[in-house]
Amino acid sequence: MPDRLQQQLEAFERALEGVRDEDSLYALQVAYIGRKGSISLLRRDMGKMSPDQRKQFGVEFNRVKRAIEAGIETRRQFLSDDARRRELERFEDLTMPPRRPEFGSLHPLTRTRRALASTFRRMGFDVEDGPHVEHGRYNFDFLNFLPDHPARDEQDTFFVEPRGDTSSRELVLRTHTSPIQVRTMLARTPPVRIIALGTVFRRDEDRTHSPMFHQIEGLYVDRGVTMADLKATLLQFTGSFFGPGLDVRLRPSFFPFVEPGAEFDMQCPFCRGARCVVCKQTGWIELGGSGMVHPNVLRDCGIDPAVYTGWAFGFGLDRMTMLLHDVPKLRYLFEGDIRFLEQFPC
């Protein structure tokens, strides 16, 4: 009897190899292990067997039946995979290498911003920001700009008219990050040590100017703060950002919110003062403005100038980014051209 089971199994296996579709597979399944299948029929003779034979038959029957079920399952899987593969092949060439996922990367300006923030954080500065649409008061008045200062001119500034509000309340797209100084001093008591990094806006557009650009602002107010602290901080900053040993110089200048005011330059990080094309043969790179916070500004922000002094500085991120990455044109930073951005992989 077990021999007949084995014979049936072998016959099944031969038949299985020829099966090419689900229907014939099903027919084969029915023919062998269906209720009236050849294997099932063999069970009918069990009644005639001795208990020992029956036991032996039972073991063998189960083995063969399981082998047939497994064979059918494997074949079914193969047929369905095969069908799927054929289906796909009608549309795609499966031998093509897969399309690589596209990875984004950080915009070079974002990198500069983050690097500056982390440099100043290490020096104990908090990072602050403020709104892009700013009160004229914070953008100008609190910063000691006189009412007729040219910076308030329509030529230089984007004025914003609140919807439905034609009153004289003056809103502007902030023209610099300096209003963040005001907001910080109004909200905090000294010691105050912050930087602010953000987008600023001016009606200015030519080869080297964009109506939207980026600044960093620094502010330190405490008892006994002097211009020497300003210079030391700038030196510390250039040292940790561009490498040690670069000198910084302050040149007298005017900004309404500082007194005295100064422009500050950094020794050219490329030639280290030896004069090159980057620094236009001067040995220096102009970075931005700075000075001691004007007593009027401190007073208006609720800080007693007889007790406290402070310094501030501000400079542009865009030109610095161009310098760092050798970007020839300002507009490349803002066009969002993927061919440019791809040159800064992570």
The answer to whether 301 touches 185, Cβ cutoff 8 Å, is yes
Closest CA to 125 of 116, 134, 136, 133: 116
Per CB under 6 A, the segment of 14-22, 43-51, 134-142, 285-293 that binds ligand DAH is 285-293
- Selected from 28, 285, 312, 333, the binder of ligand DAH by CB under 6 A is 312
Under the binding rule (CB under 6 A), the answer on residue 291 touching ligand DAH is yes
DSSP three-state, residue 25:
helix
Kindly give the residue spans of alpha helices, DSSP state H, lying in the chain. Answer: 2-17, 22-33, 38-42, 51-89, 108-122, 136-139, 179-187, 227-242, 295-300, 318-325, 338-341
How many residues form the binding site for ligand DAH (CB under 6 A)?
Answer: 12
Give the single-character DSSP code of 312.
E
Largest CA distance in the chain: 119
Under the binding rule (CB under 6 A), the answer on residue 178 touching ligand DAH is yes
Under the binding rule (CB under 6 A), the answer on residue 233 touching ligand DAH is no
Q: Compute the distance between CA of residue 166 and CA of residue 79 in angstroms, rounded to an integer.
A: 75
Terminal-residue alpha carbon distance, the chain: 72
The answer to whether 302 touches 340, Cβ cutoff 8 Å, is no
- Selected from 255, 269, 279, 297, the binder of ligand DAH by CB under 6 A is 255
DSSP β-bridge partners for residue 334: none
Under the binding rule (CB under 6 A), the answer on residue 258 touching ligand DAH is yes
Per CB under 6 A, the segment of 43-51, 121-129, 238-246, 282-290 that binds ligand DAH is 282-290
- Nearest distance from C-beta of residue 311 to ligand DAH, angstroms: 7
Per CB under 6 A, the segment of 109-117, 165-173, 239-247, 283-291 that binds ligand DAH is 283-291
- Nearest distance from C-beta of residue 186 to ligand DAH, angstroms: 16
The answer to whether 215 touches 198, Cβ cutoff 8 Å, is yes
- Nearest distance from C-beta of residue 166 to ligand DAH, angstroms: 29
Under the binding rule (CB under 6 A), the answer on residue 310 touching ligand DAH is no
Residue 15 or 330 with smaller CB distance to ligand DAH: 330
Closest CA to 289 of 323, 321, 255, 326: 255
- Nearest distance from C-beta of residue 252 to ligand DAH, angstroms: 12
Site string for ligand DAH, 209-228 (x = CB under 6 A): --------x-----------
Question: Which tokens is 92 given?
Answer: 């795609």
Per CB under 6 A, the segment of 38-46, 51-59, 118-126, 310-318 that binds ligand DAH is 310-318
Phi, psi torsion values for 331, nearest 5 degrees: -65, -20
The answer to whether 61 touches 43, Cβ cutoff 8 Å, is yes
Per CB under 6 A, the segment of 24-32, 106-114, 125-133, 306-314 that binds ligand DAH is 306-314
- Selected from 135, 176, 214, 294, the binder of ligand DAH by CB under 6 A is 176
Under the binding rule (CB under 6 A), the answer on residue 179 touching ligand DAH is no
The answer to whether 271 touches 288, Cβ cutoff 8 Å, is no
Residue 32 or 140 with smaller CB distance to ligand DAH: 140
Under the binding rule (CB under 6 A), the answer on residue 8 touching ligand DAH is no
Under the binding rule (CB under 6 A), the answer on residue 265 touching ligand DAH is no
CB atoms within 10 A of CB 209: 12
Under the binding rule (CB under 6 A), the answer on residue 144 touching ligand DAH is no
Closest CA to 297 of 305, 286, 288, 307: 305
Site residues (CB under 6 A) for ligand DAH? 176, 178, 217, 255, 258, 288-291, 312-314
